Structure formats: C-alpha cells, structure tokens
Amino acid sequence: MPRQQFTPEQHSVRVLKVSERVRHILSELLARQEVHDERVSAANIAVTEVRMTPDLRSAVAYVKPLLGAEEAEIVKALQQNTAYLQREVAKRLGLKFAPKLQFRSDESFDEAERIENLLRDPKVARDLDASES
C-alpha cells in the first residue's frame, strides 16, 4: 500500500494537532501527579506550548511552574523523568513513532511582563498620549 502523501497545508495542520495532543497528555500527567518525582509532584506545572518537528519525531515542551516554584529545578526534574513521560505519551498518542521530548522553561511570560513595564514607563505613556491627539 503506498504511503499517503500530504500537502504542505495538511502536513502543518497535522503537526499542530499532534503538538496540541502531546500538550494535553503532558498536562494531564502533571496535573494527576503521575510522575514519580517529589519535585514535579509538589509543583503546579503548566505546559504552555509544545513544538513538534515536521517529521513528528521530536517535541519541545515549554513549561511554566506556577506559584513561585524554582523553574530551573523543575525543568531539570522533568528532563530526568523524560523516559517515563515519553513512554506515557507514546502509549496515549498511538503514533508509529513516539516523539523524543525535551523540556524548556517558557520565557514568554517574562517577555510579556517586560513589555508591559516598558509601556507603563511615564516617557512611553507620554509619547503614546501625544500620538493619539
């Protein structure tokens, strides 16, 4: 049976769907505290985004610990438990190949806060008010 060919648009939609599915699976595993590591179980961790490679063999999961948990320590603990998480994702995903997971700290919240602080700066606010007039 010939391999099914996808158009570039269908391929990118498939990558996005699988990425979102992996994000949901990881979020569920972390919310239910199924990872047998005290550091991970003790923290509330949000999986903000998962980015897959086009061949669906690798995934980078961006995580953000909530309530002031130490980000570097949480990311390190997740990396140490990658084998278990990959196994669970593979089991629940049902793809031919399980994606290799990497965990990284999500810096987008820090960047958004930096931009928000810049916009609150009195000099910037003054320039914004002048341009609206």
The Cα 6–Cα 71 span in angstroms is 39
Domains in the chain with CATH codes: 8-106 (3.30.300.20)
The Cα 33–Cα 29 span in angstroms is 6
Average confidence (pLDDT) over 67-76? 85
Average confidence (pLDDT) over 7-26? 84
- Answer for the pair 79, 103: CB distance below 8 angstroms, yes or no: yes
pLDDT value at residue 39: 87
pLDDT digits (tens, 9 = 90+) for 20-48: 999 999 999 999 988 888 888 888 899 99
Q: Is the pLDDT of residue 77 over 90?
A: yes
- Answer for the pair 22, 59: CB distance below 8 angstroms, yes or no: yes
pLDDT value at residue 71: 87
pLDDT digits (tens, 9 = 90+) for 82-124: 999 999 999 999 887 889 999 999 887 777 778 787 777 787 7
